[in-house]
């Protein structure tokens, strides 16, 4: 996916960089990303869509609306492919979406909303939703395999408490793993059922933070997995689980990559205190 600096994007649109920044402030479009050096980078697809609309003689407000509508059509294409059970067409639809936005926004704005829409239309007991969520998990795993090697010393351990079949939390958990890996973190994801030998992993790769996500396992099974983390020391734990744990705070699995990383690295003092509390209190919190 090609990205443009502010000066390059402005030149493609035939305006000054200050005008481009003014459009961004007023309309929230085009929306830049930030490089590792905090440089503003625009997606070529968004800039090209806006340029084409402006060349048709539209005002800036109308051009922004048309460009947004064109980009929003990606979700419709993906929905159509998935409800028709066409895997290759779904792959092509998500690739087209990637041409217009960064991967994280593609997941946030296209892939996950598509699953929600299919669940609303057909129900989570439908073949269409089962096919769609299976395709989404597979695509997210493939995208994670393409992530660069970890660039930060911190490791994140994820206890996957989702079900074995189609699970409404599974795709969001795969998205969380992808976002964290692309943020440069070392991510280890294991089924929360896997308690035996967990200490061996902790000795080799002690995590900076642990995550428990999913609702398929009973509270005692989840608590047993979390309790097995004790040998690694006082590890902050984030829980994504419904209903909310007693005395703790439950989070929805985040859809936005920055929020995911911030939440894991900036857990509240209350949560950390709950983890470092005596075992009886900790078990109740979980």
CB 263 within 8 A of CB 180: no
- Domain holding 169, by residue range, is 149-285
User: Are 240 and 130 part of one and the same domain?
Assistant: no
User: Are 51 and 95 part of one and the same domain?
Assistant: yes
What is the C-alpha to C-alpha distance for residues 286 and 131, in angstroms, rounded to an integer?
32
Average pLDDT estimate for 215-228: 85
Percent of the chain with pLDDT over 90: 17
- pLDDT value for 226: 84
pLDDT tens string 108-166: 888 988 888 888 888 888 999 999 999 999 999 999 999 889 887 778 899 998 877 78
User: Are 104 and 164 part of one and the same domain?
Assistant: no
pLDDT greater than 90 at residue 227: no
- pLDDT band with cut points at 50, 70 and 90 for residue 259: low
User: Are 59 and 88 part of one and the same domain?
Assistant: yes
- pLDDT band with cut points at 50, 70 and 90 for residue 72: low
Q: Which of 121, 142, 163 is the last residue of a domain?
A: 142
What is the C-alpha to C-alpha distance for residues 167 and 15, in angstroms, rounded to an integer?
47
Tokens of 283: 């078990």
Q: Which of 142, 165, 186 is the last residue of a domain?
A: 142
Per the structure, how many domains does the chain have? 2
Q: Which of 112, 142, 172 is the last residue of a domain?
A: 142
- pLDDT value for 20: 92
CB 85 within 8 A of CB 131: yes
Rounded to 5 degrees, what are φ and ψ at 31? Answer: -105, 120
- pLDDT band with cut points at 50, 70 and 90 for residue 205: confident
Instruction: Please indicate whether residue 252 or residue 187 has the higher confidence score (pLDDT).
Output: 187
User: Are 200 and 117 part of one and the same domain?
Assistant: no
Which is nearest to 173 in space by CA: 236, 107, 97, 102?
A: 107
Percent of the chain with pLDDT over 70: 81
User: Are 132 and 157 part of one and the same domain?
Assistant: no
User: Are 125 and 162 part of one and the same domain?
Assistant: no
CATH number at residue 153: 3.40.50.2300
User: Are 130 and 238 part of one and the same domain?
Assistant: no
User: Are 161 and 219 part of one and the same domain?
Assistant: yes
User: Are 9 and 77 part of one and the same domain?
Assistant: yes
User: Are 174 and 195 part of one and the same domain?
Assistant: yes
DSSP reduced 3-state for 246? coil
CATH number at residue 97: 1.10.1660.10
User: Are 74 and 171 part of one and the same domain?
Assistant: no
Q: Vertex 218, ends 213 and 221: CA angle to 5°?
A: 80
What is the C-alpha to C-alpha distance for residues 136 and 280, in angstroms, rounded to an integer?
39
């Amino acid at each position: 996916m090609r990205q443009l600096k502010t000066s390059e994007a402005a030149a493609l649109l035939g305006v000054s960089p200050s005008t481009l920044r003014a459009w961004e402030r007023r309309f929230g479009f085009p929306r830049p990303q930030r490089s590792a050096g905090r440089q503003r980078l625009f997606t070529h697809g968004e800039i090209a869509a806006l340029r084409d609309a402006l060349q048709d003689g539209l005002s800036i407000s109308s051009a922004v609306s048309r460009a947004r509508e064109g980009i929003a059509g990606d979700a419709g294409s993906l929905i159509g492919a998935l409800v028709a059970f066409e895997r290759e067409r779904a792959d092509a639809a998500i690739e087209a979406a990637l041409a217009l936005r960064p991967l994280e926004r593609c997941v946030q704005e296209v892939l996950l909303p598509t699953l929600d829409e299919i669940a609303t239309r057909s129900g989570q007991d439908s073949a269409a939703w089962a096919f769609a969520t299976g395709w989404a998990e597979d695509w997210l795993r493939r995208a994670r395999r393409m992530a660069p090697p970890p660039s930060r010393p911190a490791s994140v351990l994820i206890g996957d408490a989702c079900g074995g079949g189609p699970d409404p939390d599974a795709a969001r958990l795969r998205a969380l793993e992808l976002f964290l890996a692309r943020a440069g973190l070392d991510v280890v994801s294991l089924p929360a059922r896997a308690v035996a030998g967990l200490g061996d992993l902790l000795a080799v790769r002690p995590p900076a933070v642990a995550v428990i996500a999913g609702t398929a396992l009973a509270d005692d099974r989840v608590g047993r997995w979390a309790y097995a983390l004790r040998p690694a020391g006082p590890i902050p734990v984030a829980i994504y689980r419904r209903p909310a744990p007693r005395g703790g705070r439950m989070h929805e699995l985040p859809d936005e990559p920055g929020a995911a990383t911030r939440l894991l690295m900036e857990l509240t003092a209350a949560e950390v205190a709950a983890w470092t509390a005596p075992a009886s209190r900790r078990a109740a919190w979980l």
